[in-house]
Structure 1
Amino acid sequence: MASNPPAACCATGFKHEGNPSGEIKTIGNVETYFSYPKDNKTPEKAIIILTDIIGIYTNSQLIADDFAAQGYLAVIPDLFQGDPIKLNDFENGKADLPAWLQNHQTTHVDPVVESTVKHLREELGVKKIGGVGYCFGGKYVCRFLKEGKLDVGYTAHPSFVTHEELGAIKGPLSIAAAEIDQIFTTPLRHESEETLKKTGQPWQINLFSNVAHGFAVRADLSVKQNKFAKEQAFLQAVCWFGQYL
């Protein structure tokens, strides 16, 4: 494995403050959050955000809005089709992560990502697409970083990625990693570096100290180090897409 399967740390974190400015639409029968750049409803470049197991909620929506502010159409498909893990349920012991994961395998998630890419390219006329994956979503950035799918990829603290998926990427990939991470561990990070070298694609891994898995989307922003790392990880993605997308 290039990263381990999701664990309890995948469903812990803090809800961020803010009012999302986008809107929910449907692609087929999948609810999708759309956030548009200012004064441009038909951008030629888009970002698909593939979420952690919490799905579409304030934190992910605010990140989409931030990408839209950079000039991209940003969309978040509901990878779990109405069945995300809720932070409160997990904290209250009501969520069964292993059982939940059985209902959200690649056979369930791949078609959602596929239809989102198709809609952007064929219905909206988007020319280039970047993929952003947080935790669970990082696997699908790697799976879809192929010609005609995602052109450029970025993932923060990815989970459940196999070496085969990582080694098969056909586009540039940037990774934001946490020092404290039982999923994307130090040994797995170093193994991933060796795998990425063999792809022949541009790649980057930035390591952020004193932060844990999930920091780029669910960190406690009242902690100065967390806030800095989250903001820098976002800027890492912006710079990566600026260079390659």
Structure 2
Amino acid sequence: MRMVGNTPFSTLIGHWDKVMPLPHLLIIQECIYYQLFTLSLAVFIYLDTLNSSWFQIARPNSTKVQILRFEINRRGPMASIPHVPCEQCVQGFVMKEEPEGIMVGDAYLHEGKPLTTDSPDDSGAAATTNEGEATNSSGQDASKTRAVVLLTDIFGLPLVNAKLNADEMSRRLGCDVWVPDYFAGRPPFTVEELEPLAPDRAGVKTGFVNSFKMFILFLIHLPALWASRPPVADARIAEFIKKIKEEKGYTKIGAVGYCYGGSAAVRLASKGLVDSVVVCHPGPVSLKEIKAMKVPSAFVCAESDEYFAPKFRNEAEATFAARKDKPDFVEYEFVDYPGTAHGFAARPNQRLPDIVEAYKKAMGQICSWFAKTV
């Protein structure tokens, strides 16, 4: 038994208030936390220098000199981690086009225009090509009756990709596509911080160093993650959908979610607020949440995805298949994209032709699904 003088250590811990005043204990606790963080940061920097990703030699004629820095902003001195990825690390994941839509309050909107076809079908309903491009044989303004809500990944609206994906969907479907700011102006991460650490295709291992970096990043950004935890994010999304339904008079709404937004789309499918969902490589979800989905649901599945691994993906599909010939059956589809990793449908590495091709096919799947179900 450990002893402190003639007193058992456990007794001291059990009666701390008799041994030392609470303020002193709190000071010691803070010191311990500080030392643990300092040690973690030191190990983090050491491992990263071994990986040669932070410290770069700036040429005399270089236009940018990158330095190791702490960002101190309104979220406090621990809101950012020292991280200086090279420009090449992220340029493959950020699309270069300019968005065509507008901001309406805190949300992005690409207004739909009616689509026509030279060979209308008898029903006057929307038809699709094999690329998923919707057409409307009657030429009616579909944007007045239906809409799609795009739920972003963890990078939120600041990453332009979400807006560009909304533009493309709106052009193909001929309806309004909205991108709400369900992080309330505070997305937990930036693409510059996280994307260089994540695999961009199947078969690429994250590795110990990058795993450690991601662990530290998640610790440091816990306040922002907590501020948009699922119940909070879900409430914001629900409020937004109710608002646009009331203001715009939409009769049908679909929702597509990527990563963090994919998890939100799964939960949204059980609430009666939307008529159809597409879930793209979602974040953590449970089988209970999958079983609760009660609208037509399509899944865009990456080959390599730690959040939606093949075993769980198969279990999820089995829950839909088990409803066949039952009152709670809904249309569903699961499409796998070989060679891809988590995130490919939202932010493909544009330097990898096979990943770009998978991204395009996923966009076709999304638009085809909504043309059928919304």
Equivalent residue in structure 2 for 1:48, among 146, 149, 153: 149
Question: 5 Å matches for 1:140-179?
Answer: 140-146=264-270, 148-179=272-303
- Distance in structure 1 (CA, Å) of the matches to 2:232 and 2:102: 24
3-state SS, counterpart of residue 68 of structure 1: helix
Question: 5 Å matches for 1:189-228?
Answer: 189-199=313-323, 200-228=329-357
Give the Å deviation of 1:42. 5.0
3-state SS, counterpart of residue 75 of structure 1: strand
Structure 1 pair 147–83 and aligned structure 2 pair: CA distance change class (3 A): closer
| TM-score under structure 1 length normalisation | 0.87
- Distance in structure 1 (CA, Å) of the matches to 2:272 and 2:302: 31
Pick which of 98-107 and 156-165 moved more: 98-107
3-state SS, counterpart of residue 164 of structure 1: helix
Give the Å deviation of 1:147. 6.2
3-state SS, counterpart of residue 109 of structure 2: strand
User: Does the CA-based 8 Å contact 1:135-1:159 persist in structure 2?
Assistant: yes
1:152-196: CA deviation from partner (whole Å, max 9, x where unpaired) = 010110112111111111111000111111111111111111222
Tell me, yes or no, if structure 1 residue 87 matches structure 2 residue 191: yes
- Distance in structure 2 (CA, Å) of the matches to 1:165 and 1:186: 17
Number of the residue aligned with 1:74? 177
Question: 5 Å matches for 1:80-159?
Answer: 80-84=183-187, 85-90=189-194, 96-98=217-219, 99=222, 100-146=224-270, 148-159=272-283
User: Does the CA-based 8 Å contact 1:167-1:198 persist in structure 2?
Assistant: no
1:222-245: CA deviation from partner (whole Å, max 9, x where unpaired) = 211111100000100111111111
* Percent pairwise identity: 29
Structure 1 pair 231–42 and aligned structure 2 pair: CA distance change class (3 A): closer
The amino acid that maps onto 2:331 is P
3-state SS, counterpart of residue 222 of structure 1: coil
Give the Å deviation of 1:131. 0.5
User: Does the CA-based 8 Å contact 1:138-1:161 persist in structure 2?
Assistant: no
Equivalent residue in structure 2 for 1:38, among 113, 120, 124: 113
The amino acid that maps onto 2:361 is Q
- Distance in structure 1 (CA, Å) of the matches to 2:272 and 2:231: 20
Structure 2 unaligned runs (5+)?
A: 1-89, 115-140, 198-212, 324-328
Number of the residue aligned with 1:23? 102
User: Does the CA-based 8 Å contact 1:42-1:124 persist in structure 2?
Assistant: no
Q: Which has the higher strand share?
A: 1
Structure 1 pair 229–42 and aligned structure 2 pair: CA distance change class (3 A): closer
| TM-score under structure 2 length normalisation | 0.58
The amino acid that maps onto 1:74 is V
- Distance in structure 2 (CA, Å) of the matches to 1:240 and 1:66: 14
Pick which of 234-243 and 146-155 moved more: 146-155
User: Does the CA-based 8 Å contact 2:151-2:256 persist in structure 1?
Assistant: yes
- Distance in structure 1 (CA, Å) of the matches to 2:289 and 2:103: 30
Give the Å deviation of 1:41. 9.4
User: Does the CA-based 8 Å contact 1:49-1:76 persist in structure 2?
Assistant: yes
Structure 1 unaligned runs (5+)?
A: 1-11
- Distance in structure 2 (CA, Å) of the matches to 1:38 and 1:19: 19
3-state SS, counterpart of residue 185 of structure 2: coil
- Distance in structure 1 (CA, Å) of the matches to 2:303 and 2:368: 22
Larger radius of gyration: 2
1:85-141: CA deviation from partner (whole Å, max 9, x where unpaired) = 111233596983251422221221012111111112111101100000000111111
- Distance in structure 2 (CA, Å) of the matches to 1:142 and 1:89: 27
User: Does the CA-based 8 Å contact 1:141-1:150 persist in structure 2?
Assistant: no
CA RMSD, Structure 1 to Structure 2 (Å): 2.1
User: Does the CA-based 8 Å contact 1:135-1:156 persist in structure 2?
Assistant: yes
